[in-house]
Amino acid sequence: MDINNKNIEEIVRKVLEDMTGGAKSAAPAAPAATSSSVAGATIPQKARVAMLVEKERYEIREYPLPPVGDDDILVKVEGCGICGTDAHEFKRDPFNLIPVVLGHEGTGEIVKMGKNVKKDSAGKDLKLGDKVVTCMIFKDNPDITMFDLNKQNVGGADVYGLLPDDDIHFNGWFSDYLLVRGGSTIFNVSDLDLSSRILIEPCAVLVHAVERAKSTGILRFNSRVVVQGCGPIGLICIAVLRTMGIEHITAVDGEPKRLEFAKQMGADRSVNFKEYKGIENLAKAVEDTFDGHLADFAFQCTGSPAAHSNIYKFVRNGGGLCELGFFINGGDATINPHFDICSKELTMVGSWVYTLRDYATTFDFLKRAKGIGLPIDKLITHTFPLEQINEAHQTNLRMEGLKIAIINK
């Protein structure tokens, strides 16, 4: 993978200009040995990674830390959340990445940086000791950097934590250190606490989804909104909607504890689908939460084809739907195009990952959510050290909590 070619340099330059009102970024230079590190900090010669070596088994391996080039940054990892994508890779290796160092919801502290590194991807100054997150590594497709919702999102880019293993090894956040190479995006988030920083990536998914929903023209302040699925994605969806001022939100799930937490995150009503037999009865229960009205808009946040088939029944004629639950191929869903789409004149959008602009917007969302008292931090229910990463993933697969995180002491 070539992440330092001229196409990438031009893409990064264009993104920085768009995000900072035309401010120029420093042009990448050829790698050299010159770099700076935190005064008094001890950077070891070797460090650990959690290498997924086969399905459902990580090994803790130690490798020499790679040299830091003039355009690179060495980050000491503080923590990383376990994503649903990590769970899929851990369980089934659908992306054929094994052996791989996973972890893309990570954050840490800059401990060493090349002499050419001056600012982050939003034009904010970077220095040793700053807390940072990464977003993506650009390929040679300029569409993935655009902020226009009609252009591609970052699904076509590479991400730390989903890179095949190579001679660097420190490619994912499930490790002691991460080498952020030139051509990557990086953001200074020193004004956010550790929990908020770990939640940036999944929150960006929902900021993007809500922006997609807004593009329909149907989602408004007084909209009746149903959110199906109250895992971390659905719960964050509710929080994003609530920070926008939307008050009529009904959460649908089958677990009472998650439905209760959905109310803490901003839902005013909830429906436990396990209490209703048949889609007609379930749809009537959702309708009753809106005083006899179907939803104006719906967010489908599960990876269940049956759930996708059901959600059309919750939405009024002329309403809207955002499908964001399928980050991998979860199978086919059965719908009736006449009743579910055409006769309702339903407006639908799909949502997958995010754009750079959404990522930067997420920082302000997190501050706003905390400002109005939403318990965002409580999404992280379990933490494990790196050496217990297998147990952490099994805990996640058993759905014993919400967001599971690896925390480096």
Per the listing, tokens 């803490």 go with 264
How far is 139 from 10, CA to CA, in rounded Å? 11
Residue-wise pLDDT tens digits, 188-202: 999 999 999 999 999
**Which pair of structure tokens corresponds to residue 237?**
């969806």
26 pLDDT higher than 50? no
Q: Please name the amino acid found at residue 302.
A: T
How far is 115 from 189, CA to CA, in rounded Å? 21
46: which strand partners?
A: 64
CATH topology of domain 204-350: Rossmann fold (3.40.50)
Residue-wise pLDDT tens digits, 347-395: 999 998 888 888 889 999 999 999 999 999 999 999 999 999 999 999 9
Residue-wise pLDDT tens digits, 317-349: 999 999 999 877 889 999 999 999 999 999 999
pLDDT given for residue 32 in this prediction: 36
pTM: 0.87
The percent of residues above 70 in pLDDT, for the chain, comes to: 86
Whether cis (ω within 30° of 0) applies to the bond prior to 99 is yes
Residue-wise pLDDT tens digits, 54-95: 999 999 999 999 999 999 999 999 999 999 999 999 999 988
Residue-wise pLDDT tens digits, 115-138: 999 999 889 999 999 999 998 887
**Which pair of structure tokens corresponds to residue 89?**
């890779």
**Which pair of structure tokens corresponds to residue 120?**
């982050």
pLDDT given for residue 137 in this prediction: 81
Q: Per-residue b/e over 321-352, b at no fewer than 16 CB within 10 Å?
A: bbbbbbbeeeeebebeeeebeeebebbbbebb
Burial class (CB in 10 A: 0-12, 13-18, 19+), 128: middle
- Which residues make up the CATH 3.40.50.720 domain(s) of the chain? 204-350
Is domain 6-199+376-407 in CATH 3.40.50.720, yes or no?
no
Give the mean model confidence (pLDDT) for residues 212-239: 97
pLDDT given for residue 157 in this prediction: 77
pLDDT given for residue 98 in this prediction: 96
How far is 229 from 87, CA to CA, in rounded Å? 17
Give the mean model confidence (pLDDT) for residues 157-182: 95
- Which residues make up the CATH 3.90.180.10 domain(s) of the chain? 6-199+376-407
